Chain A
């Protein structure tokens, strides 16, 4: 069985159906890209998975447990971290305090400081700035902090919502390198991106979302050569 299995998911904002009954799955160890234009419903899907918004119908099974029946604040403790769109680091708290909040549900102090060391190794800039207030970090640094904060929960799967948004091309490459490293260390990745080219270049499989429906899916290496995908999402 897949690690994360979404079935017939429907999500509404009032009377607007944003997600119109979609199904997809993420297997252990994969990098899955969810691509689509602005407003396609990518963020809505991630928010529904981690309980920030309720679903209308369908099911979301994570390691055989139904997330739609789980109190939202318990989800991170089950091994699923979410790096939300727009980073949403705690602006008034320091870098270190943000990272510690990432480990909020964990108890073992020694393990937490081990994770902190690992995060600092992956993001040396966060260590340099550990006492700086997060609101004063640059966009790229805030993205790293949001990712580091998610890693502090020691997730088995990590959901990332447009980590490259608003970053310079150089930083985008840096962020994608880090995503690759996270994946290689054994963490499953569900990556939402508008930057389809980059996303497809590191993904194993991908789903193409269009106004609340999955329009295409398949191996990333196939999609990257697909005529319609190239036209619509790769700007060719």
Chain B
């Protein structure tokens, strides 16, 4: 039974990585940049919930919705202020800016909330599940994480493949100029992508801190890096790739923790990534980049 239990919590952790990885991969697809501040948006979202629910005592749903709105706005503002002026700059300049934004967010949190770890109260209140004569115990948070993630991924797929703004996102990520010739507003499509990615980060933050209830200004850093790894693992720029990469990463991490070593689980995760990239440099579902003639 312990295998099943590791597997289930691995899928749950992996779903959180997947939600974060979606933000990385969508932004990469459309803006061709690695938004290293993305992980810190999770942290901002979690502090938003902490403030709304614990400091102000409002109900969890209000906290989650408030956090989504705050992160969505933050994502759009970051793009407008920090990245948009650099659209024609070298990718190194953009990368350094993204790292700068990441530090800015962490230090702003440090200033406002101080460095001590806050204990987060779960926003999930569904009962846990006991299966197989109480041998398999599944937390309510785990169930909520998996269910919410599946719903979000289905909704995102429908949005991208069935709606006009979704198609516009695909068109812009392939060829901005051609998309503009179709009448697509490239700037607002990029804003929309940041908005969606950051809103997903807020949800990921709520789920993450509900399962692992310790909140500090660097809370977003490690899951951010792991989710970035998941996005690369699945093939950066690919939406299904981010979903699969995220879940796989969570499962590998949890199984390594369970069967090999808690200390080395991260090393194992990154080791697997390196091996995969050696054999398939574009990641699991990554496309070869088409050379333009």
By the criterion CB–CB under 8 Å, are B181 and A82 in contact? Answer: yes
Which residue of B170, B177, B181, B184 has the most chain A CB atoms within 10 A of its CB atom?
Answer: B181
By the criterion CB–CB under 8 Å, are B293 and A84 in contact? Answer: no
Known: A86-B292, A92-B287. A73 touches B180 (CB 8 A): yes
Bound CA span A72–B185, Å: 8
- Contact residues in B for A86 (Cβ distance below 8 Å): 292-293
By the criterion CB–CB under 8 Å, are B290 and A76 in contact? Answer: no
- Contact residues in A for B174 (Cβ distance below 8 Å): 90-93
Q: Is A97 an interface residue (CB 8 A)?
A: yes
Q: How would you classify the secondary structure of chain A's contact residues: helix, strand, loop or mixed?
A: loop
Q: Is A50 an interface residue (CB 8 A)?
A: yes
Q: How would you classify the secondary structure of chain B's contact residues: helix, strand, loop or mixed?
A: helix
By the criterion CB–CB under 8 Å, are A90 and B171 in contact? Answer: yes
Q: Is A51 an interface residue (CB 8 A)?
A: yes
By the criterion CB–CB under 8 Å, are A50 and B181 in contact? Answer: yes
Q: Is B118 an interface residue (CB 8 A)?
A: no
- Size of the A side of the interface (Cβ < 8 Å), in residues, is 30
By the criterion CB–CB under 8 Å, are A74 and B183 in contact? Answer: yes
Bound CA span A51–B177, Å: 9
Q: Is B129 an interface residue (CB 8 A)?
A: no
- Contact residues in B for A51 (Cβ distance below 8 Å): 180
By the criterion CB–CB under 8 Å, are B185 and A73 in contact? Answer: yes
Bound CA span A74–B181, Å: 9
- Contact residues in B for A105 (Cβ distance below 8 Å): 182-183
Residues of chain B from 259 to 293 with CB closer than 8 A to chain A in the complex:
287, 290, 292-293
Q: Is A102 an interface residue (CB 8 A)?
A: yes
Q: Is A88 an interface residue (CB 8 A)?
A: yes
Bound CA span A193–B175, Å: 23
Q: Is A13 an interface residue (CB 8 A)?
A: no
Q: Is B167 an interface residue (CB 8 A)?
A: yes
By the criterion CB–CB under 8 Å, are B167 and A100 in contact? Answer: yes
- Contact residues in B for A76 (Cβ distance below 8 Å): 181-183
Q: Give the distance to chain A from B29, nearest Cβ to Cβ, in Å.
A: 11
By the criterion CB–CB under 8 Å, are A73 and B186 in contact? Answer: yes
Which residue of B177, B178, B184 has the most chain A CB atoms within 10 A of its CB atom?
Answer: B178
Q: Give the distance to chain B from A81, nearest Cβ to Cβ, in Å.
A: 8
> Could you say which of B183, B186, B290 contacts A91, with CB atoms under 8 Å apart?
B290
By the criterion CB–CB under 8 Å, are B182 and A102 in contact? Answer: yes
Q: Give the distance to chain B from A86, nearest Cβ to Cβ, in Å.
A: 6
Q: Give the residue name and chain of the A residue nearest to B181 (CB).
A: A82
Q: Is B87 an interface residue (CB 8 A)?
A: no
Bound CA span A206–B178, Å: 26
* B227-253 contact mask (Cβ, 8 Å, vs A): 1 or 0: 000000000000000000000000000
Bound CA span A90–B182, Å: 11
- Contact residues in A for B181 (Cβ distance below 8 Å): 50, 52, 76, 81-82, 84, 88
Q: Give the distance to chain B from A89, nearest Cβ to Cβ, in Å.
A: 8
Q: Give the distance to chain B from A112, nearest Cβ to Cβ, in Å.
A: 12
User: 21 A–B contact pairs at CB < 8 A?
Assistant: A51-B180, A72-B180, A73-B180, A73-B186, A81-B181, A84-B181, A86-B292, A86-B293, A88-B178, A88-B181, A90-B171, A91-B174, A92-B287, A93-B170, A93-B174, A101-B167, A101-B184, A104-B164, A104-B168, A104-B182, A135-B290
Give A residues with C-beta under 8 Å from B. 50-52, 71-77, 81-82, 84, 86, 88-93, 97, 100-102, 104-105, 135, 149, 153, 166
